[in-house]
Structure 1
Amino acid sequence: MAPSGLTADEKAAAVRIALANATVQDYLHGDYEITDVDYNTITHAFRGVERSETVPTVAIETKDAQIWVFVDLETETVVAIAKNYIRTPVIMPSVTQPISTPPGGETPTVPPTVQPTPRNDTAYLDIHPAGGRSVLLDPEDERYPTIDAECQELIRCINAQLKTGFSQEELAAMKRNSTYVALRFSQPTKFETRYIVDGSPRQITISEAVFFMDSGEEQNIIRTLAPDGPGVWTTSRDRGALKDLVAPVLAEGKKQ
């Protein structure tokens, strides 16, 4: 049974606990706003059993991120933190927009800035450096197999789920101006993970997995898209091997 709404005192206590957390303090640079304090549900593995908890959650918005802090009022501790980046779109000039017309010359135009367009129903890797352009690798590329294998191993090492979904718009905002690796499957693919539920490894189906590379709090997180909805997971595997594998590709994207 879901608890009734929080009282004013409980909301004040939840905010106090959230803001006292060292990790949350690291996220709060400059101005921020408490946008909501209410109950929310998180799901995670506990001693081999999937367990859901409905706990007070403090929603905070900064100039570049939305943060959700899940707190336990009885123990006065933070039990989980979720963060989504807010990115301001960079609007490029139209391909036909004039810059200036030199005397007696033709009106120059801004060359198009076009990101590679993935093909539908085709497996590919989207490797994107912050401030650069995506480099798309298909399975025929000699670099693809080793990066694909490492991404899939990270997925198999998933050991818990953060029950905080996200929209396509939120994911697109996070990708914008971030360094990431996205593995897209030609069709939804099932993985057996290390996430133990009721004594057995949990199987999850994924259409796309996204690994953000330039954010400390994302280093053990995998964000997935699937026919049954998005997921936010933690993995026990270190991301160092993936960073080494994609470093040359990221450098290529920065030059483009």
Structure 2
Amino acid sequence: MTLSVRQGEFVSVVGPTGCGKSTSLSMISGLAPASDGQVLVQGRPVTGIPDGLGYMFQQDAVLPWRTVLDNVAAGPRYRGASRTEARDRARDWVAKVGLAGFERYYPHQLSGGMRKRVALAQTLINEPSILLMDEPFSALDVQTREHMQDLLLDLWSGTSAAVVFVTHDLTEAIALADTVVVMTAAPATTKNVIPVRLERPRRVEEIRLEESFLEVYREVWDSLREEVEITRARGAGRVA
């Protein structure tokens, strides 16, 4: 597969189940080596975890024994900031994600959506230049998911971070992205790269009703449908 992402670009990656979407993030992050070819970040081969990289997983990585404030402050602390400095920065980010007043709460006291906000603050407080997101909102209900999508767009818009966002949700993929990459059935190749020429700033619940959005949705689904059918046929063959 071939995939290029520019600085400041938001790229959504969609494809059938098991095609390798998450594996592509693992290669960009240096957590898994490429089986062939090269992975370059800012022009340099990836031999470990690149500097300036943030990764938000499907399962949040909040630490259950730490409060909201100390979870968000963990990144700066690991990077050498004093406890006071890290906590001051964390308070700002806790407020940015709408959790002011919950600084002393522990993860088990939070809803799923609130935990996702903590995870988002954890990731963005480090000001990543590259943000990898692996279906981060898939476990949330529809209303909470749309709120998190809008929050992500608001916070990302003030940065120049490149984002690679893996999702199965075509509405989410299109509403967030500048570009949607459609992958083939496994072993994955890049089938189509579709630009999303929708104005920013965006509100997910509003933009998905626009005709221009529906046009992009049809184009993405037309490209993806065949790959989904191939994957289903392979699964049916194994069962048979």
TM-score by length of 2: 0.27
Q: Which has the higher helix share?
A: 2
Q: Larger Rg: 1 or 2?
A: 1
| Greater relative contact order structure (CA < 8 Å, 6+ sep) | 2
Q: Which has the higher strand share?
A: 1
TM-score by length of 1: 0.25
